[in-house]
Chain A
Amino acid sequence: AQSVSQHNHHVILSEAASLELGCNYSYGGTVNLFWYVQYPGQHLQLLLKYFSGDPLVKGIKGFEAEFIKSKFSFNLRKPSVQWSDTAEYFCAVNEAYNNNDMRFGAGTRLTVKP
């Protein structure tokens, strides 16, 4: 089964700084890729997803992610963070042709200082 690694456990940034959160997965086959966000006290919600096509995916709230197949990576980026982006971010992967088993990374806690 695949596994997902998020190397940054806690990231602290000032407002307007650029963000990049790393995500790597271990499965060698075709995958679907997701980023979810959990704002304090709220449900997990989908930021963006990739399954085929343009490897640069744009999501809600100005977030984007780039799928680099050769590096097994799906890093999340935002050019300029806001205080309201303070949240926990989870990368998730499932196999494209057997996608009932979703695997999540451990999460990255982002704190944005005003």
Chain B
Amino acid sequence: NAGVTQTPKFQVLKTGQSMTLQCAQDMNHEYMSWYRQDPGMGLRLIHYSVGAGITDQGEVPNGYNVSRSTTEDFPLRLLSAAPSQTSVYFCASSYSSGGPRSVDEQFFGPGTRLTVL
């Protein structure tokens, strides 16, 4: 298994440009999520999905869109990039969305380092 893959690894954008960060997993996991990692702030949840066709907002959703048309893929879209979106983005997945007391381990991708000028 490839696990969780993310593309691209690095990206530089100009303010106002749009782009999509790709995330795919081959473990048949129901739950997928996007985080951003900023110095001194840890990881913050942007959006998550508990299955194909179902998405919801996390802690910092503004400026980002997601969709989940298949179990495997969970792309993150920046419609109009801003310098405040300069960060490292991680995609993660886990076997199930939970339900009471579920403690499934999240598997993380390698990250995408995004710079917005």
- Which A residues have a C-beta under 8 Å from some C-beta of B? 1, 4, 6, 9, 32, 34, 43-46, 49, 51-52, 90, 92, 96-97, 99-107
Contacts and interface: CB of A to CB of B under 8 A. Distances in A.
Nearest to A97: B100
Interface of B: 4, 31, 33, 35, 40-45, 48, 50, 56, 58-59, 90, 92, 97-98, 100-103, 105-111
A34 B48 CA distance: 18
B58 A101 contact: yes
9 contacts: A32-B101, A44-B108, A90-B42, A92-B43, A102-B106, A103-B45, A104-B42, A104-B43, A104-B44
A88 to B, nearest CB: 9
B92 to A, nearest CB: 8
B88 to A, nearest CB: 11
B101 A101 contact: no
B48 A100 contact: yes
Per DSSP, are chain A's interface residues mostly helix, strand or loop, or mixed? strand
A100 B40 CA distance: 23
B42 A106 contact: yes
Contact of A100 (B44, B97, B107): B97
B90 A100 contact: no
A52 B42 CA distance: 25
A111 to B, nearest CB: 16
B40 A45 contact: no
Given A43-B109, A49-B105, A99 B98 contact: yes
A23 B11 CA distance: 33
Given A43-B107, A43-B108, A104-B44, 19 more contacts: A4-B42, A9-B40, A32-B101, A34-B103, A43-B4, A43-B110, A45-B108, A46-B106, A49-B103, A49-B105, A51-B103, A90-B42, A92-B43, A96-B101, A97-B101, A100-B48, A102-B33, A103-B45, A106-B41
Nearest to A96: B101
A105 B101 contact: no
Contacts of A101: 45, 48, 58-59
Shortest Cβ-Cβ A-B pairs, 6 listed: A104-B42, A104-B43, A44-B108, A99-B98, A106-B42, A51-B103
